[in-house]
Amino acid sequence: MLIHETTLRVRYAETDRMGYSYYGNYAIYFEVARVEALRSAGITYRILEDEGILLPVVEYNIRFIKPAYYDDELRIRTIIATMPSAKIHFDYETFRGDELLNRAWTDLVFVEKISGKPLRCPADVVSALQSFF
């Protein structure tokens, strides 16, 4: 299982009239978190894209527990609990200090750039993640 933590701070422009981090920002926060989680395993989107492989999100789910506010430092724990096949599943937990703010998950599919067709997880990604399982 790969577990990685990313820290980011809520910027003023990311808040709504209630002072909360706007709910739509979490998709961006989780993208940052999963890119850094993969990077920690030696996998980068840039290399995948250079190899003609894309990773579009096909499902996204979030359960809000408490809001985040301007200037809060958020810690996003990203978990890959299963080896990818044609898709890769990410779980997320967002914390302010030790306080859990939300839980979420995304599923992304490996897609061949030119044809747009799904494909199995590339061998180099499997190899890079193998040591975590």
Instruction: Using pLDDT thresholds of 50, 70 and 90, give the confidence band for residue 4.
Output: very high
For the chain, domain boundaries: 2-130
Percent over 90 (pLDDT), the chain? 97
pTM: 0.94
CATH topology of domain 2-130: Thiol Ester Dehydrase; Chain A (3.10.129)
pLDDT in tens, 38-90: 999 999 999 999 999 999 999 999 999 999 999 999 999 999 999 999 999 99
Mean pLDDT of 104-128: 96
> Are 69 and 19 spatial neighbours (Cβ–Cβ below 8 Å)?
yes
CA distances from 88 to 9, 20, 52, 56 (A): 27, 30, 17, 10
d(C-alpha 133, C-alpha 53), whole Å: 23
Mean pLDDT to the nearest integer, 108-123: 96
Residue 119 — very low, low, confident or very high, per pLDDT cuts 50/70/90? very high
